[in-house]
Structure 1
Amino acid sequence: MNRPPQQTTAEALLRVDRVTAAYGSVTAVDDVSLDIAEGEFFALLGPSGCGKTTLLRTIAGFESPASGDIRLDGVSLLDTPAHRRPVNLMFQSYALFGHLSVEKNIAYGLEAERLPRAAISERVSEIMETIGLTEFAKRRPAQLSGGQRQRVALARALVKRPRLLLLDEPLSALDRKVREEMQLELKRLQHEAGMTFVVVTHDQEEAMSMADRIAVLDRGRLEQLDTPQSLYERPSSRFVAAFIGTANLLDGEATEHGVVLPGLGEVRAAHALAAGGRATLVIRPEDVAVARVPEPQGSSDGAGAEFVGTVIDATFLGGSSTLSVELPGLAAPLRATVHTATSIRRGDRVALSFDPARVVAVPDPRGRATGEPEAPQ
């Protein structure tokens, strides 16, 4: 497998160093290394079962790695029990105490540390005002909406002022509208608190909208660690290309200047792949230029990657239109996004072209060259 380089920096707040974690014979986290900077909003992203929650629980101290090390400010945490780590984990279920009021729920951790009553009252009042809970201070969790309960759980985690706040699928229980509002709220609070957040999510839009950097995991391994923009524009593997955003994935054979697609010819793309090896072209729908043509034409030599096909579906989505185009040699249609209303309709002949600077070629680990694009995801 084409493994990513070890993601380490000298000034990391948290360093995960070649961590492996297993449940019996099942390896949940496989030799993962990454650094998280102080004040960063960091996301662990991947499908169910990829190891992201296990890695989060290992950082928190609820799981022990089979090998590797986890260091905070350069000091190993492995011998420090979970309750003594300067780390707080906000659970997916929120785990609020139903018999306690909002302010009592928030104060619980501080009371367990036996802080002076005046200090507890001051810090609880301050965090309730910051998160917008002051008017709900005397209510119990059952009297709150899902979004309000989420805020209480977040306030309870923030009031202890941990060096690192871990959030396990924090927005999954909320409906779409509230979830979108809370994404903005989390980002605002993270900036205001100046704290380091690490969030686990399977929702790519959630990670892309909140995180400064994202670690994409698959089957326990780190596929790529990068900024949201770089993950989208320059994926390093077929998995990342398919998982992040929508993409046309076309399999073929690498050449010196691009990738040859069976039945179509060469599409130019800069890459460092060995000529003759299996490769996958990643073409985002918005990077496909579309023009109507009066009659069938031959394809070009690939310099502009122009090919002619037939529109089999056209969908107007308000600010853009999505076209599905059937091309000779491809068993599945290629999808293109036009960022305006278009007069192109089903049955029209169109020429498709791709800017080589926007086309990415990645290894095809499945070892086939059919030229068949996967359904965009």
Structure 2
Amino acid sequence: MSTESPAPLLQIKGVSHSYGAVRALRDIDLTIADNEFFALLGPSGCGKTTLLRSIAGFETPEAGEVLLDGADLTRLPAHKRPVNMMFQSYALFPHLSVEKNIAYGLEAQGMGKADIRNRVGETIDTVGLAAFAKRRPAQLSGGQRQRVALARAIVKRPRLLLLDEPLSALDRKVRADMQLELKRLQHEVGMTFVVVTHDQEEAMSMADRVAVLNAGAVEQLDTPVGLYSRPRTRFVADFIGTSSMFDGTAVAGGVDVPGLGMLRAAHELAVGTAATLVVRPEDVHLVEPGTGALDGTVIDSYFLGGSSTLSVAVPGRPEPIGCTVHATSTARRGDQVGLRIDHERSVVVVDDRATAAQASA
């Protein structure tokens, strides 16, 4: 499936930026569609916040262009862009009520009082805070304050809303609820959302497409399903979800892994290429010892409700292999088991760590 979006709203062309000797962004190219929920995902220091600030107008990239509806915003000050940004801290005015916080930007624009009242009322209803309109931020829960910040950002009806780690201040349960709420609101208000996060679960649950950044560059741009099931680099395979990584050498029909031998997998890499076989835990199945690709010993089990994840130690491999089984599985710690790997669902990628080491040698 193509990862290119129709009807582009935002185009980022060749954007690069540095802080002294540190390259924060390296020739970034992205196209984001109208009404799309888009996520910039990556570890700390990967450049995602610098890219968001470049879109917002708080940073001016050294090279490249930022286009919105075809208009070049690259040198336009932040306050003149049809873009709003919701910050991680929420930055609510503690002395103002919910409705006054939401109305503040409209009042600053000089909108008439009747129009402000109508717009604020509609927005408060949209985020489900009508019963809290007269309260101040200190009287609200973390999730409610997050909704106020979101309402203040969308009430001005920007073409584009940028969200910087919007849920990081919330506890796990509230964060899960707000992930669904953000997605619902994005569809309801018909606006393009671009969210920055280091939390893969957050990105994968909300976004239509995700750009995974690493060291200032886009490693992969894809749908959440595509990132998980078809990672294109070792970094993406390791960063997204949980997997067992088997490093070795590409051979016909699989990967030759030191200490384990040849593991079957379909791939198109040249024979002799440093390669990594990526296996998700749900694609490893318990079988009788001697009947699978590998044999090992169960060393731990993690109960997850409808399923459990087993850790299986395999001779010749330093790290255990994860295996997801039905909750009724009778496998226990110390049991000898066989492991069958679903080679049709496994993915083989170039081991770019080996390639980089060879290049620097």
Normalized against structure 2, the TM-score is what?
0.94
Q: Does 1:219 align with 2:215?
A: yes
Which residue is 1:178 aligned to? 174
For 1:313 and 1:181, locate their aligned partners in 2 and report how far apart those are by CA, in whole Å.
31
2:90 is paired with a residue whose SS is coil
Deviations 1:128-166 (A, max 9, x none): 111111221121111211111111100000100000000
Gaps of 5+ in 1: 1-5, 300-304, 369-377
Which residue is 2:358 aligned to? none
Indicate which of 129, 144, 148 corresponds to 1:148: 144
Map 1:231-246; keep pairs closer than 5 Å: 231-246=227-242
CA deviation after TM superposition for structure 1 residue 9, in Å: 5.3
2:3·2:222 contact (CA, 8 Å) conserved in 1?
no
Q: Does 1:191 align with 2:187?
A: yes
Deviations 1:35-79 (A, max 9, x none): 110111000001111111110000000000010111111111113
* 1:59–1:78 distance in 2 versus 1, CA, 3 Å: same
- Return the letter of the residue paired with 2:136: R
Which residue is 1:373 aligned to? none
- Return the letter of the residue paired with 1:152: V
Gaps of 5+ in 2: 356-361
CA deviation after TM superposition for structure 1 residue 92, in Å: 0.6
Indicate which of 300, 311, 317 corresponds to 1:330: 317
1:318·1:341 contact (CA, 8 Å) conserved in 2?
no
Which residue is 1:270 aligned to? 266
For 2:22 and 2:4, locate their aligned partners in 1 and report how far apart those are by CA, in whole Å.
26
Which residue is 1:74 aligned to? 70
Which residue is 1:359 aligned to? 346
Which residue is 2:7 aligned to? 11
Which residue is 2:329 aligned to? 342
* 1:133–1:78 distance in 2 versus 1, CA, 3 Å: same
For 1:323 and 1:149, locate their aligned partners in 2 and report how far apart those are by CA, in whole Å.
40
- Return the letter of the residue paired with 1:291: V
Map 1:1-377; keep pairs closer than 5 Å: 11-293=7-289, 297=290, 306-367=293-354
CA deviation after TM superposition for structure 1 residue 168, in Å: 0.3
For 1:87 and 1:322, locate their aligned partners in 2 and report how far apart those are by CA, in whole Å.
44
1:357 is paired with a residue whose SS is coil
CA deviation after TM superposition for structure 1 residue 263, in Å: 2.2
Which residue is 1:3 aligned to? none
2:153 is paired with a residue whose SS is helix
For 1:142 and 1:347, locate their aligned partners in 2 and report how far apart those are by CA, in whole Å.
53
For 1:114 and 1:168, locate their aligned partners in 2 and report how far apart those are by CA, in whole Å.
27
1:177 is paired with a residue whose SS is helix
* 1:7–1:308 distance in 2 versus 1, CA, 3 Å: closer
CA deviation after TM superposition for structure 1 residue 10, in Å: 6.2
For 1:178 and 1:32, locate their aligned partners in 2 and report how far apart those are by CA, in whole Å.
33
Q: CA RMSD in A?
A: 1.6
Q: How many equivalent pairs are there? A: 354
Q: How high is the sequence identity, in percent, across the aligned residues?
A: 65
For 1:152 and 1:317, locate their aligned partners in 2 and report how far apart those are by CA, in whole Å.
34
For 1:344 and 1:79, locate their aligned partners in 2 and report how far apart those are by CA, in whole Å.
62
- Return the letter of the residue paired with 1:160: K
- Return the letter of the residue paired with 1:367: A
Deviations 1:13-37 (A, max 9, x none): 1011111111122111111111110
1:50·1:220 contact (CA, 8 Å) conserved in 2?
yes
1:311·1:349 contact (CA, 8 Å) conserved in 2?
yes
For 2:184 and 2:195, locate their aligned partners in 1 and report how far apart those are by CA, in whole Å.
15
- Return the letter of the residue paired with 2:80: R
For 2:202 and 2:316, locate their aligned partners in 1 and report how far apart those are by CA, in whole Å.
36
CA deviation after TM superposition for structure 1 residue 8, in Å: 5.6
* 4+ long deviations beyond 6 Å: none
2:178 is paired with a residue whose SS is helix
2:151 is paired with a residue whose SS is helix
- Return the letter of the residue paired with 2:24: A
For 1:153 and 1:10, locate their aligned partners in 2 and report how far apart those are by CA, in whole Å.
30
For 1:315 and 1:116, locate their aligned partners in 2 and report how far apart those are by CA, in whole Å.
59
- Return the letter of the residue paired with 2:333: R
2:6·2:33 contact (CA, 8 Å) conserved in 1?
no
- Return the letter of the residue paired with 2:67: R
1:7·1:33 contact (CA, 8 Å) conserved in 2?
no
Moved more, 36-45 or 325-334: 325-334
